[in-house]
Amino acid sequence: MIAIGIGANSKARDEDFASALASIRAETGGDVVATFEDAPFRPLLQTAASRQSLAHRALPLADLRARNDDCRTRSEPSLALYGVASIAEASALAAAGPSSKLIAARRIIGNVTVAAARSADTKESPQ
């Protein structure tokens, strides 16, 4: 299973989420989109996920913090506001489950950040 984690700034709009999801899915695929449950942008993300036939998971901030050490990048604003190095990376890791690994580190696409993680129980398909 591949989980896509999402973060965003206050300028993010509907089309930003749609574009960011399409971009990361083209690279990694994706089964579920996740962010923290109190994210102010969550309704916009839910709409974009639904339009792309993706499941949406809202995660407690504690779940993101539990995966903080597994994040590859650091966002100082995210650390200051939420105590999480990267909302996108931590969301992807938490949604993908225990022992999951990042397959795409956080990147900024307009006003949205995206990352992707693969579940530990997902096998790579032979090339």
Do 113 and 24 meet the contact criterion of CB atoms below 8 Å apart? no
Q: Kindly indicate the confidence band of residue 6, based on its pLDDT and cuts at 50, 70 and 90.
A: very high
Do 32 and 92 meet the contact criterion of CB atoms below 8 Å apart? no
CA torsion sign for 90, 96, 98, 102 is: negative
For 36-76, write each residue's pLDDT tens digit.
999 999 999 999 999 999 999 999 999 999 999 999 999 99
pTM of the model: 0.92
Nearest 10 degrees: Cα torsion 33, 37, 42, 48: 20
With b meaning 16 or more CB within 10 Å and e meaning fewer, what string describes 92-124? bbbbbeeebebbbbbbebbbbbbbbbbbeebee
Two structure tokens written together for 2: 């591949």
